[in-house]
Chain A
Amino acid sequence: MIRITRQLSIGVFGAAALLAGCGGSTSSGGTASGGTNYTGKTLQLAAVISLNGPGNVYGLQQKTGIQLAVDEINGHGGVNGAQIAMDIQDDGSLQQQGAQVFQTEIQEKKVVGIIGPTLSNTAIAAHPVANNLKTPVIGPSNTGNGIVGQCPYACDYIFRDSLGEATAIPDNVKTAVQKDHPKSAVLFYANDDKFSSDGAKIFQQAFKDNAVTVPDGGVLQFSKTESSFKEYVTTALSKKADIWAISSLGGIPAKVMIEARKQGYTGPFLGGNGFNTYQVSQQAGDQGKGAQSGSGYFVGTDTPTNKAFVDAYKAKFKDTQGKPQLPDQIAAQAYTAVKIFAEAAKAANLTFTDLAGDRTKLRDALAKVSVDTPLGQFSFSSQHDVHQKVYVVAMDGKGGFSLVNTYEAQ
């Protein structure tokens, strides 16, 4: 509790924002959070995230962000008096498991909403399950195409608070064009991963829109399990492009950048959401300095809400060396997802007896919610997509990020 006391002294506004869950009518702009009194009730939610498998590089931060939010809300009067019961489950980074766990949580645990899954690949298997069972879902890190809005399946119950590649990449490219005036580009992408493949298409379109040419053979595809990138880098170098874009996840972006610098490429790098974690920045180290990407979050954002979040997160999460860990986009979006659910629940007039009705009411309330979060002021667009600022960030060469510029919410 010492941390919380320190934050109270930051400022009234900060305190008000933080204590928004404490049953007060101090709403941060938007729905009247004075809603129905839910004292004594339990808000059943589930988080189905990648605790195992390759996705766990994101899943573990999501778990901490979610736990932080739940503890904060529950410790300050809950959701209009209701305590959140957050069941955190593992999707194994697998499509089948994600879908199965979604089904079990909805039918057996009778949750009223789900946060998850971690990967876009898993989402396209799991989200339809939730939609069929009419349960609202917030995707905390699904940034591929077709996740919300225009989906290949019915998705009126699906939302996401994770800035999509379709927005992040064009803004990133726009910034790069203004800064570096590239004439040509090469593109690396993993062809057996939905996120990476979607990102590649968006990059190509963004380059075209900004009059940046991609030479013949300048689009290099590889498997996400590829072990060595030497030959790809050599091929890319031979194209003599001004700027390199990398659409991939996991350890690949850093590997490509390191190899590129080794072989003598000195130009800038652009990436998608795969760039936006500290692990990637740390792995890339000095070779990744200046690598630029569009993000839904910047840790240095100077708002009381974000500062409180960062401090609380640092106190709770230590990295593998035992040092306090800063939150990144992944953690911030997971934390925010909980806050969004809580805020929407307040206005949703839940009965806690009519499960089906409550789920639909919660969905309707989500569509109208507006809440102050570490990502900034957040609401959903008519497509259930994010409506927030876009931060263009760059790796600082020391395992962190710096801010390049921002775009206001569209």
Chain B
Amino acid sequence: MTPLIAPLAAGTSPGYLLQQALNGVFNGSIYALFAVGYTLVFGVLDILNLAHSAVFMAGAVIALVLMLNFGLPFWAALVLAIALCALAGYLLDRVAFRPLRHRGAPHISSMITSIGLALVIVSIAENRFGGNSQRFPVDRVPGGELHFGGLSISTVDIGILVVTIALMIGLAFMIERTAPGRAIRAVAENPRAAALMGIDVDRVIALTLVLSSALGGLAGILYGLAQSDVSPYIGRDQVELKGLAVIVVGGMGSITGAVVAGYLLGLVEVAVLVFVGSNARSGVAFAVLFLSLVLLPAGLFGRRAGRTT
């Protein structure tokens, strides 16, 4: 029996497929949220910030530590952790990206510096937090599931979906309509021209890193909440690399692209599991990435030809 038919013929109900689709969407939310920060930095600085996954992890770890060791309530811990991640983003720019930028270093140098800083952050987390996977205290965080029509939907997942969509709309609004947003777009388009127009490029870039890292930290906390998993390793491997696949497929620098591609990847992965089987799962994201680069290099929402550099 061909793989496509088997699961349907095995008596699985439309409810099963619907639940799986929801799974794909909910997984996609985290991919999207993670990828937005990633792609924002690339769009503005042409840099692949590989410390983003470390900030993702740091958000979750810091929030948990604030709750467990300092007794903060969840929302306070969330806000404070995000603020600290934003600060980390600022420092990343100040300490590493800005000096390199000012002396005209090639972009790869910044990428490699971000790798080094990621190593430092993960190592510190490993040493201070320990390598174990922990969980946000169940009685002090949002939780619970809705059950109807044979489906099971976690309230946290719905919340994340709402947050992701809201953030995307908010970001789009900010970038299109507000002054800082216009400045970001100008710098992304052409930093030299932007400087000539009187924009403080360094400040804009710092803002971008702050925004990106805040989003990354938020994504990490929500991941830790949704997956009951907070450890120094949550950013590594899969999340980091899938984020890469997402921003490439979505189009480097495109926020809409990152979100759409994030959800797309979530759905495709689940589809492969459902229709092909669990053994084919691991390579999906990268096969998609590879094919996308070869067939559609600019990505779904990438910039078209004719743009000035």
Contact = CB atoms under 8 A, between A and B. Distances in A.
Contact of B16 (A56, A227, A234): A234
B292 interface: no
B273 A285 contact: no
A223 interface: yes
Interface in B126-173: 126, 129-135, 138, 145, 147, 152, 154
Contacts of A217: 6-7, 10, 277
Contacts of A250: 133, 231, 233
B309 interface: no
Interface of B: 6-7, 10, 12, 16, 19-20, 23-24, 26-27, 30, 68-69, 126, 129-135, 138, 145, 147, 152, 154, 223, 227-229, 231, 233-234, 236-239, 242, 269-270, 273-274, 277-279, 281-282
Nearest to B128: A320
B152 A264 contact: yes
**Which 7 A-B residue pairs are closest in the complex by CB-CB distance?**
A251-B133, A225-B237, A230-B23, A279-B132, A56-B131, A263-B152, A231-B270
A286 B135 CA distance: 12
B68 A320 contact: yes
Given A251-B229, A254-B228, A232 B273 contact: yes
Contact of B126 (A52, A238, A251): A52
A184 B306 CA distance: 61
Question: What is the predominant secondary structure among interface residues of chain B facing chain A?
Answer: helix
- Select the residue from B227, B233, B277 with max chain A CB neighbours within 10 A: B227
Contacts, number: 122
15 contacts: A52-B126, A54-B131, A54-B233, A217-B6, A217-B277, A238-B10, A251-B133, A251-B229, A251-B231, A254-B135, A255-B133, A255-B228, A262-B154, A283-B133, A286-B138
A250 B138 CA distance: 20
A263 to B, nearest CB: 4
Nearest to A253: B133
A220 B282 CA distance: 12
A279 B238 CA distance: 23
Interface string A357-373: 00000000000000000
A285 B213 CA distance: 31
A258 B237 contact: no
A226 B152 CA distance: 21
Given A222-B281, A232-B278, A234-B16, A227 B234 contact: yes
Nearest to A224: B237
B281 A53 contact: no
- Select the residue from B30, B134, B152, B273 with max chain A CB neighbours within 10 A: B152
A57 B239 CA distance: 21
Interface in A241-274: 250-251, 254-255, 258-259, 262-264
A125 interface: no
Nearest to A251: B133
- Select the residue from A227, A254, A283, A320 with max chain B CB neighbours within 10 A: A227
- Select the residue from A235, A279, A285 with max chain B CB neighbours within 10 A: A235
A228 interface: yes
Interface in A9-41: none
